């Protein structure tokens, strides 16, 4: 039997998880969380680590971490995590791909600078100066394509003399653009700057490749970030591998989705940011690659592939980031979730959270609920932008979407038509009631079709993210007591807001009983019949109503019946200008009004 200690060193809290592994069986021995001690007055991350281990009731022998467990794996976002500036010639093409690459490496993207004719040199200089990133990522030009504007961006970086966040030295640069201008890039940057050359992230308009640049980013993260945070460098001296928490979570959701053979999105609500990660398999059209100056010449059929997306939203934190979240969401959007809300009380509470990030809790759970709801809404909107199609793809004779299953109105893979599971994790959720969590997930995210809501009720996913891939895969099936399927939401999309029938839903319970529901516009129903472990669902929508298979198309599914049951919501699309009185009307003060609508049990 092996003992494994997993550590997640966050900006605010250090979390520890002690596991035992016996062949394929995983057992959670203990968990703990303590304040992170990177900053004043301790200035030593080891202080927090030792305190977290003490909370696990494990003795530290002679300060030797190797004596605690057979294996120790660590991830970290301490010190604000990895911060990057990205540059690309065209904002919606290479700059967008550069941003996706940075986010995929677990970075917070503090600035996106584009070239071309959009900005003149003085404006680009002003954007770069004072940014103080950990890394600058420069992209632009397909191989053999744009050269002049890529060189202009390199000249801008050289002239701006961008200082690193940690030292009074120039920030390192990774160039991942047109391979034909590498020598020109070196001429401008190599003498004064730590310059890395990676493969072009957009070698042609139809291809986006970010794996190689991700490796370069990870290498610089270890060199420039970890070594400048007190004691994180010492951890590497012990021989422990250290990776950004965001990279581990991105890996976790991808393995989750592959293991369950579905598509999933994970939201990690933290004190400094709210991060989202998705793994989505889809079918797209395959085209012949262009040659020379030719555009795409024909459809080669369909291919199935999976993509993983990340979005680190530094404007959506619940404590250190509360003031930024308030500014981003707006006072009205925060107050609509709170009874008897006043602007003054919310303003004061948000800024107090920045000063005392660990002191809030039970006393202001109503504000925590509101902030969490808006953090989910804002983060999902950003994630949809990140999970967009490749701009710049051209076809002959007609315009065809790059992703066959992506609607032209959205242009994103992060659509509920494709998503099956929502996973919620973060330190706030153990303090909220299950009804509250389902309510804010439903109304903030507004999923449609059939969506499973999972809750990390012990807040352990960020620690599991420290595991190596093969161990994550074997642990997922063993953590059902900690990461639970909280509820399933069935919600159709309707093009009409008038009160009318949306369709007939037939539920066949495992005990043999059958139930039919005539769902009408505006209905909100909660099915919670104890004793059933699975429900067969058949949905016959009316014309123009989409339950996930397209307008008017029937849907059949088997739903694993877990914990809170099934929420059937006929309010889509839900207007974003709702108020607290609307919430009371829908759910009741204590979620007592959920059971409404026509239900006939055979």
Range scoring the smallest mean pLDDT among 54-63, 166-175, 304-313, 555-564:
54-63
Show Cβ contacts of residue 204 under 8 Å, excluding neighbours closer than 6 positions.
Answer: 142, 143, 289, 290
As a whole number, mean pLDDT of residues 199-226 equals 83
Are the CB atoms for 102 and 150 separated by under 8 Å?
no
Higher-confidence position of 319 and 292: 319
Higher-confidence position of 378 and 76: 378
As a whole number, mean pLDDT of residues 112-141 equals 83
d(CA 200, CA 150): 12
DSSP 98-113: HHHHHHHTTEEEEEEE
d(CA 157, CA 234): 33
The most confident of 121-130, 205-214, 426-435, by mean pLDDT: 426-435
Are the CB atoms for 79 and 9 separated by under 8 Å?
no
What residue ranges in 10-94 does DSSP mark as E strands?
A: 13-22, 25-35, 71-76, 82-88
Percent of the chain with pLDDT over 90: 38
Are the CB atoms for 167 and 228 separated by under 8 Å?
yes
Residues 41-100 pLDDT 10s: 877 888 888 899 888 876 555 455 666 788 888 888 876 778 899 999 988 788 888 998
pTM for the complete prediction?
0.86
d(CA 595, CA 587): 9
Are the CB atoms for 460 and 479 separated by under 8 Å?
yes
Residues 527-558 pLDDT 10s: 876 556 788 999 999 999 999 999 999 999 99
d(CA 572, CA 500): 13
Are the CB atoms for 462 and 273 separated by under 8 Å?
no
d(CA 108, CA 343): 29
d(CA 248, CA 262): 19
Higher-confidence position of 451 and 224: 451
pLDDT at residue number 391: 61
Grade residue 517 by pLDDT with cuts at 50, 70 and 90.
Answer: very high
pLDDT at residue number 416: 92
pLDDT at residue number 62: 44
CB atoms within 10 A of CB 107: 28
């Amino acid at each position: 039997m092996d003992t494994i200690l997993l550590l997640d060193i966050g900006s605010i809290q250090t979390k520890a998880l002690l596991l035992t592994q016996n062949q394929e069986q995983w057992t959670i021995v203990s968990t703990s969380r303590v304040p992170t001690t990177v900053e004043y007055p301790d200035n030593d991350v080891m202080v927090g680590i030792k305190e977290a281990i003490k909370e696990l009731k494990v003795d530290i022998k002679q300060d030797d971490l190797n004596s605690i467990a057979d294996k120790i794996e660590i991830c970290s976002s301490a010190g604000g995590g990895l911060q990057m500036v990205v540059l690309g010639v065209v904002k919606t093409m290479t700059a967008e791909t550069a941003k996706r690459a940075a986010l995929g490496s677990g970075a917070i993207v503090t600035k996106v600078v584009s070239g071309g004719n959009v900005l003149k040199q003085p404006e680009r200089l002003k954007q770069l100066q004072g940014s103080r990133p950990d890394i600058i990522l420069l992209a632009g030009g397909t191989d053999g394509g744009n050269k002049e504007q890529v060189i202009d961006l390199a000249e801008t970086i050289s002239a701006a003399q961008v200082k690193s966040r940690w030292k009074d030295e120039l920030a390192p640069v990774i160039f991942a653009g047109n391979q034909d201008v590498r020598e020109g890039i070196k001429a401008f940057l190599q003498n004064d700057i730590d310059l890395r050359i990676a493969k072009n992230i957009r070698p042609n308009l139809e291809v986006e490749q970010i794996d190689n640049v991700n490796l370069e980013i990870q290498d610089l993260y270890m060199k420039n970030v970890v070594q400048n945070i007190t004691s994180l460098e010492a951890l590497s001296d012990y021989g422990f591998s250290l990776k950004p928490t965001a990279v581990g979570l991105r890996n976790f959701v991808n393995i989750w989705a592959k293991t369950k053979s579905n598509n999933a999105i994970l939201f990690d609500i933290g004190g400094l940011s709210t991060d989202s990660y998705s793994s989505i398999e889809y079918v797209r059209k395959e085209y012949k690659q262009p040659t020379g100056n030719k555009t795409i010449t024909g459809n080669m059929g369909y291919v199935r592939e999976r993509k993983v997306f990340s979005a680190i939203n530094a404007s959506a934190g619940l404590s250190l980031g509360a003031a930024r979240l308030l500014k981003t969401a707006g006072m009205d959007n925060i107050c609509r979730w709170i009874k008897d809300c006043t602007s003054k009380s919310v303003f004061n509470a948000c800024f107090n959270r920045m000063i005392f990030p660990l002191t809030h809790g039970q006393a202001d759970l109503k504000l925590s609920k509101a902030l969490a709801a808006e953090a989910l809404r804002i983060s999902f909107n950003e994630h949809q932008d990140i999970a967009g199609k490749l701009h710049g793809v051209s076809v002959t004779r007609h315009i065809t979407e790059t992703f066959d299953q992506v609607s032209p109105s959205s242009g994103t893979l992060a659509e509920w038509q494709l998503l099956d599971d929502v996973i919620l994790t973060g330190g706030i959720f153990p303090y909220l009631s299950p009804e509250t969590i389902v309510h804010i997930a439903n109304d903030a995210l507004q999923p449609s079709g059939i969506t499973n809501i999972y809750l990390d009720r012990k807040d352990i996913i960020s620690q599991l993210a420290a595991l190596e891939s093969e161990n994550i895969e074997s642990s997922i099936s063993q953590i059902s007591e900690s990461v639970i399927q909280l509820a399933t939401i069935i919600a159709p999309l309707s093009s009409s807001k008038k009160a009318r029938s949306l369709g007939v839903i037939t539920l066949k319970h495992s005990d043999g009983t059958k139930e039919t529901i005539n769902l009408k516009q505006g209905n909100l129903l909660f099915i919670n019949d104890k004793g059933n472990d699975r429900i067969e669902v058949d949905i016959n929508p009316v014309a123009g109503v989409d339950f996930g298979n397209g307008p008017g198309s029937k849907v059949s599914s088997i739903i694993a019946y877990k914990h809170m049951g099934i929420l059937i919501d006929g309010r889509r699309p839900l207007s974003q200008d709702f108020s607290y009185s609307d919430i009371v009307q829908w759910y009741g003060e204590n979620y007592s009004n959920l059971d409404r609508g026509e239900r006939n049990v055979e």
